[in-house]
Amino acid sequence: MGGMSAMQHAGLTDVYRARSNKLLAAALWSLAALGAVVTVLQAGVPGLRFAAPLVLMAWAGWALFWRPAVVVSDSGVELVNPVRRIGVPWEALAYVDTKYALTLGTGHGRFTAWAAPGPGALGARRARPEHLTGLPESSYGPQHTVRPGDLANTVSGQAAILVRRRWAERVESGAVAGGRVEETPVARRVAWGIVALGLVLTVATAVTLLS
């Protein structure tokens, strides 16, 4: 997934990426490739010296849509965001929220998954009865209600199911020590290489467009 992991994963590891994000990445890559082909046809290979905007588009497709993921293992949850990774051990996890996106609450703050945004009004209206049943117990509110972001047909809901099920399994098996939310650290790593490349491409694009 690019960059150094924020935590050491153990046991079965599930990696969640939204299908919609993959499609957006593929669309940007296709546009960038088409632009490169048109540039070569019109100006020849030398024309590629003006290709910085196309490379920036391809970078954005990877960094913003393909790279983001939610990684769930016996060790905890790692959120892979565009330029940052957050590793949350199970002992550090206090709650899971999906109001706006999959969000992990810890004693050191709230961390949101870029890869799992909450649904819009359309996504909630598409819910069917089967999307409300069989969810992890912590998904349900008073009177067995379900928040739109927890529905099984939504991106945030699908990611939340993976997190909540593994969390419950680890707690029930006695593998997670209780009462350690505040003292358990959350690992955070910035992917400086990705940041630097994005800045270089942005500057190169600005120079290209202004020249």
Residue 3 lies in a domain: no
- pTM comes to 0.86
Residue 4 lies in a domain: no
Question: How many CB atoms lie under 10 A from the CB of residue 181?
Answer: 15
Answer whether 145's CB lies under 8 Å from 110's CB: no
How buried is residue 42: exposed, middle or buried, by Cβ count under 10 Å (0-12/13-18/19+)?
exposed
d(CA 140, CA 166): 17
Residue 5 lies in a domain: no
Residue 87 lies in a domain: yes
Helix (H) or strand (E) holding 109: strand 109-117
Task: Give 63-81 pLDDT, tens digit per residue.
Answer: 999 999 999 999 999 999 9
Percentage helix, strand, coil for the chain under 3-state DSSP, each rounded to 5: 50, 20, 30
Task: Report the number of distinct structural domains present in the chain.
Answer: 1
Residue 7 lies in a domain: no
Residue 179 lies in a domain: yes
Task: Give 18-44 pLDDT, tens digit per residue.
Answer: 999 999 999 999 999 999 999 888 888
Contacts of 127 (CB under 8 A, 6+ apart): 148, 151, 153
Task: Give 120-169 pLDDT, tens digit per residue.
Answer: 655 556 655 544 555 666 665 655 556 667 788 889 999 999 999 999 99
Task: Give 172-196 pLDDT, tens digit per residue.
Answer: 999 998 889 999 999 999 999 999 9
Residue 96 lies in a domain: yes
Give the ranges where the chain is alpha helix by DSSP (H). 19-43, 52-60, 121-125, 155-172, 192-210
Structural domain span for residue 150? 14-210
